[in-house]
Structure 1
């Protein structure tokens, strides 16, 4: 839960100094944001320039987006290759995430998993609170995949997947699904978006309607998009991406 208002807090650091240190803008520009009513502390609009906060406790938003005030928190996006398991140490000796994390100063962990034979966007962080919320089954982060499948799904088949099908572990439906381009050489490319985090769910859904997956890439995880990040590359999230991720997590903290 978000901390409550701390009206008239006499201790702590000046809000504009904290936001400038967080990379939002210069102190002068942050002060303009405050006067314009664009800054909130624990849900309360703050316009007084003398406001002080505790960065370790207070939640701050600018234009409705959360701001990470802890410089020790790290958020990274990895374009995981196929053949790599989503764990920090694989007991069977397969390629694991240490290939990218061993060089980091911080000890980070993956948020959720991708199958070894699935590539794409994997979030890594040392923010345990955010990771717990995003990985919780009831939270249901939206994820988008690009799947190369055998055969050419018809409009009726795509409609079935949108309306819902029954699997061994219960019903499931796609939030959105469409063909990408025209099918060729006995296969097609499908873009599928869903909230479920069930094991191998995309492969099982498409297999159930007669179109086994030949290749699968996760392109989106919540507000994060893989973009042009090459396979096997890793990068830090920028300030905007971190803000969107924190906003998503904070807004959903009460759901789990």
Structure 2
């Protein structure tokens, strides 16, 4: 941290430019001891920092100081592959990134037949960290499956089942709806595993093949009402939550093909 260097930028100005709060409110946050620079609380309003190298957080949530970084949420439709260029000529992610000046790429992957939340960014470091297998990012899926799912099946999913590549257990599982007429069931699964097509393989293993699958949540991000095929930029709060997760080290999964 560079307190006195004239080339530094005042901390309250940096916070305001990052969209955290107005400069006046940012000053109040600093005086209240709610701002840290490189892990140390800073309460001096004259403090200057280097926005390119110093790490800042407010109330424990990281602040993105690099204005060149862009973070976009996509509700990926079925049939689109999680690639910027598919060598088989299938629909890919370019159609959603072409309007952005920055060269965006996806954080992890969703299988072509799976829809839902996918993050697009030009922040290579964050993308690498969050997609690394040593992380356990929680992901929430809603699966439409064949057959009527029982409470016993849900218990088996959370207790753990054996797959060809080893045991797996859902963090949480619950039945959203189950048709008495055999019209299938809706099941919500929460997982931190990044294993390939894991949701489909788990539901196959318990006798309820997946007909449709959507990822509703990725770590702190929620899909909400974003329509299929649409994008939106992450809010300041969402960016901060994602950065906080990425700075937390290997405690958070590789969003590979579910």
Q: Calculate the TM-score normalised by the size of structure 2.
A: 0.94
1:103 aligns with 2:96: no
Deviations 1:156-213 (A, max 9, x none): 1111110111111111100000000343542000000000111110000000000000
CA-based RMSD: 1.4
Q: Contact 1:183–1:189 (CA<8 Å) still a contact in 2? A: no
Q: Is residue 2:138 matched to residue 1:142?
A: yes
Q: In structure 1, what is the Cα distance between the partners aligned to 2:2 and 2:73?
A: 37
In the other structure, the counterpart of 1:29 is 25
- Which stretch shifts more, 24-33 or 239-248? 24-33
Map Cα deviations across residues 127-176 of structure 1 (whole Å, 9 max, x no partner). 11111110001102100000000011211111111011111111110000
Of 12, 16, 33, the match for 1:16 = 12
1:33-63 per-position Cα deviation (integer Å, ceiling 9, x unaligned): 1111111101111000110100111010111
SS at match of 1:181: strand
**C-alpha distance in 2 between matches for 1:9 and 1:249:** 30
Structure 1: gaps spanning 5 or more residues: 1-5
Task: Tell whether 2:126 aligns with 1:124.
Answer: no
**Residues 1:166 and 2:162 are matched in the alignment:** yes
Number of aligned residue pairs: give it: 251
Q: Quote the offset at 1:90 in angstroms.
A: 0.5
SS class of match (2:177): coil
Distance 2:46 2:232 in 1: 36
Scaled by the length of structure 1, what TM-score is found?
Answer: 0.95
* SS of residue paired to 2:248: helix
2:227 pairs with one of 213, 226, 230 = 230
> In the alignment, is residue 244 of structure 1 matched against residue 241 of structure 2?
yes
3-state SS of the aligned residue for 1:33? helix
Equivalent residue, structure 1, for 2:256: none
Residue matched to 2:67: 71
Q: Which moved more, 1:8-17 or 1:125-134?
A: 8-17
